[in-house]
């Protein structure tokens, strides 16, 4: 069976006259117009049978799901093949396909008629495809049984290649099937496991970080943009910028070289075409002077295309390229977007390491594993906050048990394993850290992958010891995951603290205001201002609450902004060398000399990026942000 499949804005067809005796009866010769649909031109061939029809319709369904279209027109089209089946068989198989297309709004144009038609095809990369479907050997079905008998078995069969086998790997390297693992001391891992293996969870409250991101004046939805494209207020931009700077500095320290690549690419570029066919994505499309451009959904393209132009020797490897994408775009389904957790535009640190062989890539992945853990820790995300998942092919596991077990050992707690019988994606192994939030949802943070396919796809080559050209193995690491998602985690953790009756806080180095000075009366303002100058000369973000409010009110407001240090200046302090410092974390007021205070402060922020206040120093000059 041969199929030409087109994703169309519209089609109009008019049956003209019967072409063969056995043509379909009772056909209206009116013009039929359909909109927003997939048209499948179908030629049924000699050896086709019912199983081919089933296979065909499941493939069509599959791709229609990917492009999010529900209407299908089956259009008998003999000209695709020179080996046609007899009309009776063709008609019955077409009918079968139509009846199998459950869940789709399906129709067909009359069989055996000459028809005129007008078709308007959409321009996106997945709009056009052709399929040739022939009989294949009966593949024995996998041992995992389907729990949902109602799904069409044919659809399941065609997906059997990506059937997953779930295990838990303990720190001693043993693998226990997930269903047999005792999760009693691993509550979060159980949540991740259930979440990943698609068990239902019902929650009916909004995620706490959404309220906090507004209340703390960090970020908000921008109604004038597309959903999932956020605006960041001064506080949010400051926090985001510091995290970006920090992750970048750590990757450079590890050996990544920072580059910058375009955010949009030509979907007809040869590398893109094959990438798309391999991994259909929902992306933003832009038409420009006849070019069909799309907004990148990762930094891979730019870096691979760049590496393609490098003259690489095995002596150069591993070679690491790094980019922090502001932004990567994925047009996620609207129903999937949530606050800062799942966005359509997000900032992603993405570091690729080009390695000469598997051995080198395995050494490299260990280094990056440590880097990722360390970066998260410094961002305030501890090991206990996340669970690890490792996904690999069975073949890779059988040949590389030791390094996999080593990763689990490094983490020091059991890990969720997903194993595939065959390689379906471009990688043979992928690990990631998943944060489990207040509502029991898992979000991937750090991740690394061993990519064995894109080296050749993008024509990236290096010359080995024997003067032979080879394609490198490529690792794809994001040491932190999306920056927005880090903020999401910090806010979810804060929300958890609030729930537990603890004071929420940001890591000191990320606080928009680190120190607030409160003059007791107007007459102390000048002292406060020169104190603020002195403090900010140490790269500390300090502001002054000069508003005409009671001292109680101003302390309360500072607490509500999660400001760590509050310094009240009154009669006593004006005549003393010491400062009265209210430490929000300790919950007390201490007398400290200026130098001791600076010392205490700097001990907590060494090694972290610094930047000045991103708002007026005087609170009286600051607009209130109530969002």
Partner RNA sequence: GCCAAUGUAGCUCAGUCUGGCUAGAGCAUUCGACUUGUAAUCGAAAGGUCGUGGGUUCAGAUCCCAUCAUUGGCUCCA
Encoded tokens for 207: 């995620």
**336: contact with RNA by CB under 7 A:** yes
By CB under 7 A, residue 147 contacts RNA: no
| In the complex, minimum distance from the CB of residue 119 to RNA, in angstroms, rounded to a whole number | 22
Judged by CB under 7 A, does residue 514 bind RNA?
no
Q: Does 174 bind RNA (CB under 7 A)?
A: no
To RNA, the closest distance from the beta carbon of 453 in angstroms equals 10
Compose the 444-483 pattern: x for residues touching RNA by CB under 7 A, - for all others: x----x--------------------------x-------
373 near RNA, judged by CB under 7 A? no
Separation of alpha carbons 608 and 248, rounded Å? 12
Give every CB contact of residue 428 below 8 A, 6+ residues apart in sequence: 392, 393, 395, 396, 450, 452
Is residue 257 at the binding interface for RNA, with CB under 7 A as the rule?
Answer: no
Among 556, 585, 602, 611, binds RNA (CB under 7 A): 556
Which residues have a Cβ under 8 Å from the Cβ of 541 and sit 6 or more positions away?
511, 512, 513, 514, 515, 611, 612, 613
- Of the ranges 27-35, 265-273, 315-323, 567-575, which one interacts with RNA (CB under 7 A)? 567-575
Among residues 200, 287, 384, 469, which is the contact residue for RNA, using CB under 7 A? 200
Q: Does 580 bind RNA (CB under 7 A)?
A: yes
Q: How far, in Å, CA of 108 to CA of 60, rounded?
A: 14
Beta bridge partners, 84, equal 45
80 DSSP assignment: G
- Pick left, alpha or beta for residue 521 (phi over 0 → left; psi -120 to 50 → alpha; otherwise beta): beta
Nearer to RNA, 79 or 521 (CB): 521
Among residues 534, 586, 583, which one has the least CA distance to residue 555? 583
Give the three-class secondary structure for 237: helix
The torsion defined by the Cα of 116, 122, 125 and 127, in degrees rounded to 10, comes to -50
Does the footprint of RNA cover residue 537 (CB under 7 A)? Answer: no
Mapped onto helix, strand or coil, the DSSP state of residue 498 is: helix
Structure letter (DSSP) for residue 507: -
- Give the nearest distance from C-beta 543 to RNA in angstroms: 15
Q: Which of 268, 377, 553, 599 binds RNA (CB under 7 A)?
A: 553
- Minimum distance, C-beta of residue 550 to RNA, in the bound complex (Å): 3
Measured from the CB of residue 145, what is the shortest distance to RNA in angstroms? 17
| Cα separation, 558 vs 566, whole angstroms | 8
Cα–Cα separations (whole angstroms), residue 476 to 267, 373, 411, 449: 22, 16, 19, 5
Q: Which of 145, 289, 309, 522 binds RNA (CB under 7 A)?
A: 522
Q: How far apart are CA 344 and CA 327, in angstroms?
A: 9
Q: Confirm or reject binding of residue 255 to RNA (CB under 7 A).
A: no
Question: % helix / strand / coil in the chain, to the nearest 5?
Answer: 35, 30, 35
Q: What gap in Å lies between CA 613 and CA 512, rounded to an integer?
A: 7
- The yes or no reply on residue 393 touching RNA (CB under 7 A) is no
| Residue 134 · residue 113 · CB < 8 Å | no
The reply on whether position 568 binds RNA by CB under 7 A is yes
Judged by CB under 7 A, the chain residues 295 through 314 that form the site for RNA are 297-298
Q: How far is the CB of 346 from RNA (least distance, A)?
A: 11
**Nearest distance in Å: CB 572, RNA:** 4
Q: Shortest distance, CB of residue 231 to RNA, whole angstroms?
A: 12
Tokens representing residue 277 in the block: 């066919």
Tokens of 299: 């930094």
Residue 609 three-state SS:
coil
Q: Does 207 bind RNA (CB under 7 A)?
A: yes
Selected range binding RNA among 55-63, 94-102, 308-316, 565-573, rule: CB under 7 A: 565-573
Q: How many residues bind RNA (CB under 7 A)?
A: 69
Q: Is 495 in the site for RNA (CB under 7 A)?
A: no
Site string for RNA, 268-287 (x = CB under 7 A): -----------xxxxx----
Residue closer to RNA by CB (options 426, 509) is 426
Instruction: Give the chain's radius of gyration (CA, Å).
Output: 30
Distance CA 611, CA 627 (A): 25
Q: Are 353 and 477 within 8 A, CB to CB?
A: yes
H or E segment and range at residue 491: helix 483-499
Who contacts 437 (Cβ-Cβ below 8 Å, separation ≥6)? 207, 209, 341, 443, 488, 489, 492
Residue 204 is a binding residue for RNA (CB under 7 A): yes
DSSP result, 570-584: -HHHHT-SEEEEEET
The residue from 68, 86, 173, 612 that contacts RNA (CB under 7 A) is 68
Q: How far is the CB of 547 from RNA (least distance, A)?
A: 7
| Residue 580 to residue 568: CA distance in whole angstroms | 6
Residues between 584 and 623 that touch RNA (CB under 7 A): 584, 589
| 333 near RNA, judged by CB under 7 A | yes
By CB under 7 A, residue 201 contacts RNA: yes
Is residue 203 close enough to count as binding RNA by CB under 7 A? yes
The contact mask relative to RNA for 209-228 (x = CB under 7 A, - = no) is -x---x------x-x---xx
DSSP calls for 124-176: STTSEEEEE----PPPPPPSSPPS-TTS-HHHHHHTGGG-EEEEEE-TTS-EE
441 binds RNA (CB under 7 A): yes
Binds RNA (CB under 7 A): choice among 33, 46, 291, 503: 503
Residue 116 within binding range of RNA, rule CB under 7 A: no
Residue 521 binds RNA, judged by CB under 7 A: yes
Q: Is 496 in the site for RNA (CB under 7 A)?
A: no
Cα 88 to Cα 111: distance, rounded to the nearest angstrom:
10
The residue from 135, 161, 499, 572 that contacts RNA (CB under 7 A) is 572
Work out whether 549 is an interface residue with RNA (CB under 7 A): yes
CB of 77 to RNA, least distance (A): 28
Binding site for RNA (CB under 7 A): 65, 68, 70, 198, 200-207, 210, 214, 221, 223, 227-228, 279-283, 297-298, 330, 332-339, 342, 425-426, 439, 441, 444, 449, 476, 503, 520-522, 548-553, 555-556, 559-560, 566, 568, 570-573, 580, 582, 584, 589, 624, 626-627
């Amino acid at each position: 069976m041969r199929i030409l499949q087109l994703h169309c804005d519209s089609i109009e067809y008019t049956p003209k006259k019967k072409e063969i005796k056995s043509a379909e009866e009772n056909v209206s010769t009116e013009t039929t117009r359909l909109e927003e649909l997939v048209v499948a031109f179908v030629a049924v061939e000699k050896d086709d049978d019912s199983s081919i029809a089933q296979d065909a319709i499941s493939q069509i369904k599959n791709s229609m799901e990917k492009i999010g279209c529900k209407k299908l027109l089956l259009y008998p089209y003999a000209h695709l093949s020179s080996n046609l089946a007899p009309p009776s068989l063709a008609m019955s198989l077409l009918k079968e396909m139509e009846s199998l297309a459950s869940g789709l709004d399906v129709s067909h144009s009359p069989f055996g008629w000459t028809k005129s038609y007008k078709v308007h095809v959409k321009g996106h990369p997945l709009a056009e495809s052709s399929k040739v479907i022939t009989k294949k050997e009966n593949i024995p079905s996998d041992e995992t049984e389907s729990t949902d008998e109602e799904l069409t078995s044919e659809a399941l069969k065609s997906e059997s290649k990506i059937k997953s086998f779930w295990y838990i790997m303990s720190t001693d390297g043993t693998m226990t099937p997930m269903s047999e693992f005792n999760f009693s001391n691993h509550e979060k891992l159980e949540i991740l496991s259930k979440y990943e293996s698609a068990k239902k969870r019902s929650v009916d409250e909004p995620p706490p970080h959404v309220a906090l991101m507004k209340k703390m004046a960090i970020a908000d939805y921008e109604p004038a943009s597309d959903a999932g494209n956020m605006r960041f207020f001064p506080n949010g931009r400051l926090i985001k910028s510091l995290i970006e700077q920090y992750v970048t500095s750590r990757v450079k320290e590890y050996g990544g070289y920072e580059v910058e690549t375009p955010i949009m690419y030509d979907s007809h570029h040869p590398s893109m075409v094959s990438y798309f066919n391999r991994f259909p994505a929902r992306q933003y499309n832009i038409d420009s002077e006849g070019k069909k451009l799309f907004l990148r959904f990762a930094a891979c393209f730019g870096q691979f295309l760049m590496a393609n132009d490098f003259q690489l020797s095995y002596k150069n490897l591993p070679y690491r390229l790094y980019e922090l994408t502001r932004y990567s775009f994925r047009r996620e389904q609207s129903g999937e977007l949530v606050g800062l957790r799942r966005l359509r535009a997000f900032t992603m640190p993405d570091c690729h390491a080009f390695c000469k062989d598997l051995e080198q890539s395995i050494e490299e992945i260990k280094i990056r594993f440590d880097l990722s853990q360390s970066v998260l820790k410094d961002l305030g995300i501890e090991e206990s906050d996340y669970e690890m998942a490792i996904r690999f092919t069975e073949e890779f596991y059988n040949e590389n048990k030791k390094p996999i077990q080593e990763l689990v050992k490094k983490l020091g707690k059991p890990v969720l394993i997903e194993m595939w019988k065959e390689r379906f994606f471009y990688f043979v192994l992928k690990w990631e850290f998943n944060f489990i939030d207040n509502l029991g949802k898992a979000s991937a943070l750090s991740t690394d992958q061993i990519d064995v396919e894109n080296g050749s796809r993008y024509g990236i080559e290096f010359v080995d010891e024997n003067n032979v050209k080879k394609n490198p193995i490529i690792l794809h690491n994001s040491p932190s995951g999306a920056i927005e998602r880090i903020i999401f985690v910090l806010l979810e953790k804060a929300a958890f603290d609030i729930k537990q009756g603890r004071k929420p806080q940001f890591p000191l180095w990320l606080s928009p205001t680190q120190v607030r000075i409160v003059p007791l009366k107007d007459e102390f303002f000048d002292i406060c201002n020169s104190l603020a100058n002195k403090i900010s000369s140490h790269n500390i973000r300090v502001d002054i609450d000069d508003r005409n409010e009671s001292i109680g009110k101003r302390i309360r407001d500072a607490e509500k902004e999660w400001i760590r240090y509050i310094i009240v200046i009154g009669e006593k302090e004006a005549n003393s060398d010491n400062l009265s410092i209210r430490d929000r974390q300790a919950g007390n007021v201490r007398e400290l000399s200026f130098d001791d205070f600076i010392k205490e402060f700097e001990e907590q922020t060494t090694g972290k990026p610094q930047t000045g206040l991103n708002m007026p120093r005087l609170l009286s000059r600051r607009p209130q942000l109530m969002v």
